[in-house]
Chains A and B, each alone.
Chain A
Amino acid sequence: MIPAHITPINSPIHRVDPRVRFLGGLMLALVLALSSTPIVLLCGLALGIILCLLARLPWIALRPRLFTIATFAVLLLAFLPLEIEPHSTLRLTYHPERVALAATLILKAFSIVLVFTALVSTIEPVTLGHALRHLGCPASIILMLLFTIRYAETLTAEARRMQAAMALRGFRPRLHPRSLLHFGTLAGMLIARSIDRSERIMDAMTCRGFNGTFHLYRHFAFTTRDLVATFLLATAAILLLTLHLLA
């Protein structure tokens, strides 16, 4: 997910129903993943760039993702055309025709990442959980997702506090059996505290009437804007699919 503090919340993409954005992103990603036709992938890349511009994504939000893909692209271009000759351990042969394959894979990766970043990563994790539940995802999975969002930071803070307490009492991590033992104790304590916490949370839930059904508070309204967005995203996916079939 893209942290909320570096993304706008009022772009044309942000105003669209999260369910439409998720399904649209999934549909486009599927078409792009299945196609190896350069024209389709180039159109997908252009679409990804347009969607990112519409979502008003700042460069700082895109940079880490694109940098990761670029690293992968360099490795792919460097190693995919090489092949170790059969029955020889050291002789490498260069296959220039595989550069096209590497380029196809790179185009695919960039276009899918751009489309998914613009449409799905801009949804707040909590909202995405609700949207997925409304789309029919099993309640237990959504509950786990929402609890992870809620408690990941609390548990990380707890681990940091324990590490700081160790450091303040002179602990310096080294590759030493005693150091490893302390790290083991830290992990064990964190698990034990998390189990205790989970029991207390269950108590708190029961006290407020929880009987196994997790009711969703947030509901989405499907407006004309969402209908237009659905139409546009579906048209884009159908056009890409038609291009793929024609090529």
Chain B
Amino acid sequence: MSPALSITNLTFGHQPGQPLLERVHLSLQPRDRCILRGSIGSGKSTLLHLAIGLRKPWQGVIRIFDTPLDSPPNLRLARRRAGFLFQEPDDQLFCASVSEDIAFGPLNLGWDRATVHQAVRQTLDRLDISHLENALTHRLSGGEKRLVALAGILAMEPDLLLLDEPTNHLDDQARDKVVNVLRQSSCAMLIATHDPTLAEALSARSLTLNEQTLHERPAPPP
């Protein structure tokens, strides 16, 4: 089976001559869960941006389900199977109302209206936020914004989730809700986080980004 995400020999930096990531290798199998840790500025978010093709690597190959992220048609194809959660929900919730925002991805995938409507309702139910269906996105609380942003990518039924700080600024209740949704999901996941308990909560393997490259940490006890 082809890996959900494969990164081979990746090198990238924001400034010429100053690599932030150097010779990074990563392979994520379908249903694999992987937590990405590291200090602030170590390049966790950058790695996720590279993995979805928002940045072009200096060197190396990135593939999502065997599709290399090297051309616009391939990027479109790969992004049909991968959902990306941004660190700042306000950047991701660009539609005025919650239902519209969740429907945005499915509509772009070319689904018909009835299927999109059903996907919106099901995702809202799954995250237990049906009461927010007609709410305006800019009036939501921080936790609600995070859940709606997650709903927006889950509605597209991705096979790979790339999540940038999904539990940041959440209260305990909202955090538990996000963790439960992720635990029940069968998607492969790469999660950048500072949350020390997330790896254990998701029984995920832990990787640390340190000195420009990835280091495997021992798996948490089951």
Contacts and interface: CB of A to CB of B under 8 A. Distances in A.
B143 interface: no
Interface residues of B, number: 35
B108 A211 contact: yes
Interface in B84-128: 84, 86, 88, 90-97, 99-100, 103-105, 107-109, 113, 116, 120
A218 B88 CA distance: 26
B116 A209 contact: no
A146 interface: yes
Contacts of B93: 150
B76 A209 contact: yes
Main secondary structure of the interface of B (DSSP, over half): helix
A181 B109 CA distance: 48
B100 A217 contact: yes
B100 A207 contact: no
A150 B88 CA distance: 15
Nearest to B92: A204
Contacts of B54: 203, 206-207
Contacts of A206: 54, 79
Given A150-B137, A206-B79, A207-B79, A126 B96 contact: yes
Interface in A111-130: 125-126, 129
A74 to B, nearest CB: 37
A147 interface: yes
A149 interface: yes
A200 B105 CA distance: 16
Nearest to B84: A207
B94 A201 contact: yes
**Chain A residues touching B, range:** 20 to 34
A200 B100 contact: no
B219 interface: no
A205 B94 contact: yes
Taking each of B52, B94, B113, B136, which has the highest tally of chain A beta carbons within 10 Å of its own beta carbon? B94
B154 to A, nearest CB: 11
Given A153-B138, A209-B105, A146 B96 contact: yes
A204 B109 contact: no
Contacts of A91: none
Interface string B129-146: 000000011100000000
8 contacts: A125-B96, A206-B54, A206-B79, A208-B152, A209-B76, A215-B103, A217-B107, A218-B100
Interface of B: 49, 52, 54, 76, 79-80, 83-84, 86, 88, 90-97, 99-100, 103-105, 107-109, 113, 116, 120, 136-138, 152-153, 156
